A and B are shown apart, each in its own frame.
Chain A
Amino acid sequence: MSRKPVSKAPAGKQDKSLDQPKPKARMVTVYIMGKRHVVPEHATIMRAIEYSGQQIIRGAGCREGFCGACGTIYRLPGDYKIHSGLACTTLVQEGMSLTQIPAVPMEKAIYDVEKLSPDVDTIKRLYPVVFRCVACNTCTKSCPQGIQVMDYIQAAKRGDIAAIMDLSFDCVACGLCALRCPAEIVQHKVGVLGRRLYGRYLAKESKELGARIKQVESGQFDEEYTSLMGMDKASLSKMYYERDIEP
């Protein structure tokens, strides 16, 4: 089965390129859950699945690499490795054999963030499984975000909360690390815990924020609000266009 790729330019825009030499979309063969499909070469895995005629229910979310809904594993011809990636940002390749991971089963620790301490004791109590880490680095290799996952798990073992926060900051929680981990660690859940501990206990307090909240609570802006809200459109507009702008 091969079809002509449909043009995807927005209709709202004039297509001026018709007279220019346009390279034809080449097609590649991929195997989606074992079944052969011919799809455009420049398609992401997600677009290829849709091009094959399937409506994705589980396995698509933001479609831009933020939500982690579309974790996918695949193999390539002549390559023994299992590769992993996000379907929304990984391009298909000739001979790619792939399957999406619709959900990642795991247990999240339940806690009251107000009653925790930002140290190794908390990690020990909530996620003792991190101490099974054998430093094999499979988690890091499987991360579609290129995060040093193993390093933040090692940091968790030392109770270095700031390092967990910094290293896991860009985690999209797709869970591919947790599925590949031979020690059965739930890395991305440890990352969330580390980040929350940092934000709650270790981030330096902002003095001007506290002062501003006090001003609001004491009603310091009430009068100005009342005056602004009572203004007609013309006077408000005048004030707006005359306001000074911080460089």
Chain B
Amino acid sequence: MYPEYLAGSLKEVDRTRTKRLELAKSGNPVYPPMNAEERKDVLSKYHPDFSKGARSKIRVGPNKGEELTTEITELLEAHSMVEPRLMDIHLREPDYETDLLIIGGGGAGCWAAITAMQNGVNSMLVTKLRLGDSNSMMSEGGMQAAVAPQDSPTRHYLDAMGGGHFENNPELVRILTEDGPEVVKELERLGVIWDKQADGTMQVLHGGGTSRKRMVSCRDYIGAIITRTLMDEVHNHPDKIQVREFEPAVELVLDDKGRCSGAILYSLDTEQFLTVKAKATIITTGGFGRLHIRGFATTNHYGATGDGLVMAYRAGAKLAFMDSVQYHPTGAVFPEQIAGFLITEKIRGAGGQPLNKNGELFVFPREPRDIESAAIIRECSADRNMGVETYAGRTGVWLDSPIIDMIHGEGFTKHQFPGMCRQFNRFGIDITKQPMLIYPSLHYQNGGVEINGRCETNIPGLYVAGEASGGVHGRNRLMGNSVLDYNVFGRRAGQHASEYAKSVKLGKLSLDHVTSHVKELKANKIETDLVSPMILPSYTPEDVKIQQLARLGSAPARHSMLRSRISPGDKRSAAE
């Protein structure tokens, strides 16, 4: 239920709806889309990437001298969790040996395990939380794939390049868009249920930045449907895919020829460091929303702390586009309990409109995400002051959802958006009758570890796929392209890495790169008490943390590493 103080603004939304519905039905854009100049202007003035302090120069490692997102620079300039000297014996006698190590149990990781198995290679999949606990599980709206007759993979290519400001790696974008239709088919073969018309035709909708209706969907649970299907398939082969949960990797292991040869895991249950020796390694650790960059609330899952970036970087892998962050235009602002909650872009794809406090349109509803977010931030800024304020101190704009049933017919919203309806119903808001209050929410890591079309990095034996990789989206990803990304490149990573694993002969295992990192920190006079990867964010109140830090001595308390960590986020408010 919306509080009384929002009633006036809600009335404005109702008042303007008839006129806006006419506009929506006219077939013309409901608001003029921005041209290249206008896009540049709104981005440079209002996108958080361009705010003061958003980027800082990194002083160590392969990207030394480049400006990266500040929170990432801090993590990359932090200490390792392990003391290499103490790991010597375990490097000689590893706890586990496998042909293929997959780090990360989301969609890309599951796919990699499946395609490696199809290629005759057994694997070990290690993950921080449970299998499937990932951003893959949470995607709601859909996946882009050029399946409609009026569409084509090359049109998809052009849309993706434009969304990414033409900086994407063309080779990767071609693979992404060209594999799309086949991935749809492959997923259906595994048992994914696509939204279809009565005759079997795929239902397609628009997303931000698409020139053709291209979003295929599974109601508003696409991530849950795809990921649970892939997980079920992984669990159907316990003899070929070994899954280790609550054992995140914290460092990669190289051999004496500089090839990736496995990883060090940290058991969250026992606080042991375990060594895995592997002929090939794939990082599918996903993104970094839980770093709460610029203090933003996030749509991401609990474990999204960018661990893969840290490990790969310390081992010498080059990062790409790690100076840009995606803020999803529509994160929930009200009620406070679900602040940051993702409201799917499919709402705007189906005709939902962002409106200011007077119920007026102020932006084309389907601009690419960075543009749409910047336009919403501008509307709420002191320059315009057209946002709606809540008593919790947040500001947002309305996202008009009741208009959707007026466009598509009654019952459409309930059937196509069961997740959204349920989430808001819990708080007494019926989204078929009232709009949602929204503001951009930290959503996606646009860049990542640089890969080529075979998912290879500059380190032999190290492959990366999904959100952890960089290049395919440039500095801005379009909606539905990340679900496609983890499916396309997860599959390919499994194929290429398993092929490589068949022939490689490993040398002596080493953590010398971690020792070098320590030396490099020292040489650059970097003083930090931060340890990375972060593994989990801390939402422990500050006064509790201070009391935890009074412990004397070096004996590990249970989860001491996690509990006592004062993260960079603590300097800001602990927004979820």
**Chain A interface (Cβ within 8 Å of chain B)?**
3, 6-18, 20-23, 42-44, 47, 50-51, 53-58, 60-67, 69, 89, 91, 108, 110-113, 145-146, 165, 169-170, 172-173, 192-193, 195-200, 203-213, 216, 221, 224-225, 228-229, 233, 236-237, 239-241, 243-247
Contacts and interface: CB of A to CB of B under 8 A. Distances in A.
Interface string B282-299: 000000000000111101
Given A67-B301, A225-B154, A233 B166 contact: yes
Nearest to B33: A245
A42 B338 CA distance: 11
A68 to B, nearest CB: 9
Contacts of B418: 169-170
A66 B206 contact: no
24 contacts: A10-B296, A13-B439, A14-B382, A16-B389, A22-B393, A44-B337, A47-B539, A61-B133, A64-B301, A67-B132, A69-B133, A111-B236, A192-B232, A195-B229, A199-B193, A203-B188, A206-B147, A208-B201, A208-B202, A209-B184, A216-B178, A224-B154, A228-B157, A229-B170
Contacts of A192: 228-229, 232
Interface residues of B, number: 114
B158 A240 contact: yes
B382 A237 contact: no
B539 A50 contact: yes
B154 A228 contact: yes
A206 B395 CA distance: 44
B439 to A, nearest CB: 8
Nearest to A110: B236
A165 B501 CA distance: 39
Contacts of B246: 57-58
Q: Is the interface of A mostly helix, strand, loop or mixed?
A: loop
Given A11-B294, A12-B296, A110-B235, 12 more contacts: A13-B380, A57-B268, A57-B562, A61-B303, A108-B235, A111-B236, A113-B233, A199-B188, A206-B200, A213-B181, A241-B35, A246-B212
Interface string B241-279: 000001000000000000000000000110000000000
A245 B541 CA distance: 49
A146 B421 CA distance: 12
Nearest to B299: A64
Contact of B150 (A17, A57, A110, A246): A246
A7 B393 contact: yes
A155 B575 CA distance: 44
A64 B342 contact: yes
B129 interface: yes
A145 B299 CA distance: 20
Q: Is the interface of B mostly helix, strand, loop or mixed?
A: loop
A62 B559 contact: no
Contacts of B439: 13
Contacts of A63: 301-302, 576
Contacts of A213: 181-182, 185
A59 to B, nearest CB: 10
Point out which of A165, A197, A236, A245 has the most chain B C-beta atoms below 10 A from its C-beta. Answer: A245
Contact of B154 (A10, A60, A169, A221): A221
| Leading 8 A-B pairs by shortest Cβ distance | A196-B191, A11-B295, A204-B200, A240-B162, A53-B544, A9-B393, A199-B191, A50-B539
A62 B302 contact: yes
B572 interface: yes
Interface stretch (B58-66, B92-100, B216-224, B485-493): B216-224
B540 A11 contact: no
Contacts, number: 283
A156 B184 CA distance: 27
Contacts of A199: 188, 190-194, 229
Given A11-B572, A55-B562, A165 B544 contact: no
Point out which of A58, A67, A203, A210 has the most chain B C-beta atoms below 10 A from its C-beta. Answer: A67
B358 interface: no
A7 B573 CA distance: 7
Contact of B193 (A3, A53, A198, A233): A198
B130 to A, nearest CB: 6
A55 B342 contact: no
Contacts of B178: 216, 221, 225
Interface string B113-153: 00000000000000001101100011000000011111011
B394 interface: yes
Given A11-B572, A62-B137, A62-B301, A203 B295 contact: no
Given A20-B391, A23-B391, A246-B211, A67 B137 contact: yes
B302 A206 contact: no
Interface in B173-212: 174, 178, 181-182, 184-185, 188-194, 196, 198-202, 206, 211-212
Nearest to B39: A241
A213 B211 CA distance: 20
A113 B542 contact: no
Nearest to A227: B154
Nearest to B173: A229
Contacts of B559: 55, 57
Interface in B32-91: 33, 35-36, 48, 51
A53 B540 contact: yes
B422 interface: yes
B508 to A, nearest CB: 34
A165 B574 CA distance: 40
A145 B338 CA distance: 16
A228 B200 contact: no
B426 interface: yes
A17 B206 contact: no
B181 A172 contact: no
Point out which of B212, B228, B422, B542 has the most chain A C-beta atoms below 10 A from its C-beta. Answer: B228
Contacts of B223: 66
Point out which of A47, A197, A224 has the most chain B C-beta atoms below 10 A from its C-beta. Answer: A224
